[in-house]
Structure 1
Amino acid sequence: MSVWFVVQSQSRLENAAQQLAVAHAEAVVQLLDTGAKPDDLRLLVRDSIYEVTDRSGHRLASCPALRGATLAAYDADVTVGPGAIDRADPASVGCAPELGGLDEDLTVHVIHEVSGDSEYDVYAGVRIDPEGQAAVDSARATLTAGVPTVAVLIGVIAWFAVSRSLRPVEAIRAEVAEIGAHDLGRRVPAPGSADEIARLAATMNSMLARLDDAVTRQSRFTSDASHELRTPLASMRTQLEVLLAHPDRLDWRAACENALLDVTRMQDLVADLVLLGKLDAGPDRLEPVALAEVAEAAVAGRDVHVEVRATPVVRGHRPRLERLVRNLVDNAERHATSRVVVEVSVVDGQAVLAVSDDGPGIPEADRERVFDRFVRLDDGRARDDGGAGLGLAIVADIARAHGGTAELEGGSRFVVRLPELKTS
């Protein structure tokens, strides 16, 4: 931009001088074309710098009178030293005012014209505006020295500013680089600003919190699963070792029946673990399913009362929805006094499946964790008769995989809400 400014300013000065030189040259040519002689120009042309030669280049007239110098040039700048001007010659009188008292080189822009009869060559020169030229030269000098300095200064300031603004990013990067799989409780530093970097830090901390929760749940799940499997395995091994050590003192049939019970328990546990793993991996292919039909099919042949208040259709996986209903009914039957009720309805555009019983209910202090994996409550209604504590956890995960929720309302009413599929 600065170079363009200097070039444009210099160009405007030169164009102005050129136009004025053309006007002076045309004025001299006009006088010659009307019959004036070169010697007459001294009296006819004032305040101008010019030179007239014949076609052979012999000088016929000039203003000022020059010694050892010439203005003969074609659209170019000509420099005349003060010593080259003969001030005593009458021809130097009446020329351009800037020649008076000249004590330095004079640079003029010269234009060449030819008289109408081609007898004379006319050269007219005009000095470029000295004040304008001084301003351009000053700007050129200032910009030549100042622009690189300013550019370097701006670059340094920008570098410091960018470095300062990216310092929180580097802190976040360094912290993330040090966080390992067993150290997910750490968090990246969050700057106090409200910009994109602060939002990045918040997102990173949110992601770390989710990872920490997932790893913690996975670790707890693995630990609980191994514990649940270890118990029936230890029981089977003990029975087999005693049976082999004292074959004549134990009932082989009873021992095999007990071992079969342990195998069945492990088989059910493994099936539940496999299902939970599939639910954690993501949803399977879903299709329209009538929730009332699922509920009736899941409780067929059982002493359970089904109340269908609406017939909602949901997008789901039918076998897993049936498993959801069976788990809720199994849980209700274990703790009911005499009655289990399954209700299907629609509330606020959601399909609602509710399973309730007339049992003692879950204590209020345990209601928030009843859907956690491997949770078996110790009091009243929730004392399990051999389950691993995965039934209600499977219910919650199936509901979540279908975009819904599972909640406990009161002490003995489990409610599952699923998005209703609108059918035309």
Structure 2
Amino acid sequence: MFNWYSDLTKPEKRTYWACFSGWGLDAMDTQMYALAIPTLIALWGMTRGEAGILGTTVLIMASLGGWIAGILADRYGRVRILQITILWFSAFTLLSAFTNSFWQLMVTRGLQGLGFGGEWAVGAVLISETIRPQVRGRAVGSLQAGWAIGYGVAVLLSTLLFSTLEPSLAWRVLFAIGLLPTLLVLWIRRHIEEAPVFAQNLREHAADRPSIWAVFDGSTRVTTFKAILLTFGIYGGNYVMITWLPAYLKLALHLSITNVGGYLAINILGSFAGAFLNGWMADRFGRRRTFIVIACLQAIAVAVYTLAPITLPITLVLGFVLGTLQSGTAAGTGAYIAELFPTRIRASAQGLCGNAGRAIGAIMPAMVGVLSAKFELGAAMGLCACFSYLLVVIAALMLPETRGRDLTHVDATSTPATNESAGPMPGNRADSATGH
């Protein structure tokens, strides 16, 4: 599961850690809002519905930002646009610290979402095009562990700040800290090379500037909509839990700030493990089977966690399982979407399919806020999340298998061949001679 890393070349390792750290910073800045929800509800008198709308706004704007950044990355390069997106979302995280109302925060959070969606889309394409096919699932999937680390840092900062400062000040300091790691990540970005697949395509087709609507051309339209359905289900379910879990632990289970941090830490450890589990399964058993199995298990785990009368110790243990499966569904999207589309529109497709799924899936956190006015918060979370994971299974059944695909040979006019019947992927060292 882990020996693939030693076979990576120096450029591959640099790109890996650059994307890993960038995704971690992205997670830290994004999760600060979820951790501040209970405080903002108390200080500003926000309703749960308004809190859900704020979370939804970010995800909708992330869809637009991902598409825009993807289009620009297809024209001007992955690394350059990546630097711009990380500057963007960090700056608006800082500005969120100075807001004083629901509407002000909606503006800054919405603009932050543009960079959030852009960073994920461009980073996922960069790493997918840099890593060789034999280990792409494990390498790209393990980047999801960066999200767990960023989330963990946000939880630690939140626990520390809310334990030592007045709530009215603590949430502002939390958002302001979101700017600090930017310089380090930008330095890393400047020391990585452009994706080899993209550089080759640029040399051979320098004059080819695809339309912004190319992802909806007849040859790719069906694949685009199926991929959006897949990510809709994944992120709809995941963002229900990511957005509302801190509030559920505090408002429904009545845990203290310190205990909420402990429960979230267990969930985050599970997220870290899930990233590696997905990548290993995707490379060994195929992309589609991995999505189906993990989504089914996640639906069961969410239903038990939010709907069954379980004790606090069981809640703590099950939180690890939830984190593992939650990360497992999301970890596979980067490599899979990259394998579905040709190089000339790959970043545009990654940005649109990945983030359109976020935007449509953003309905689910908002629905939880609305439904919680009539049902218990746990019941609202469970119903919305389980429905979302059902959509993952449906979409995975309709999409083709792409395991081991050479990204230089993806043809927009044909459907990727299915290799479900293929056996386990060969060992890394034997395959390393094939290069990119």
When Rg is computed on C-alpha atoms for both structures, the one with the higher figure is: 1
Of Structure 1 and Structure 2, the greater strand share is in 1
Q: Where on the TM-score scale, by shorter chain, does this alignment land: which range?
A: under 0.3
Structure having greater relative contact order (Cα 8 Å, sep ≥ 6): 2
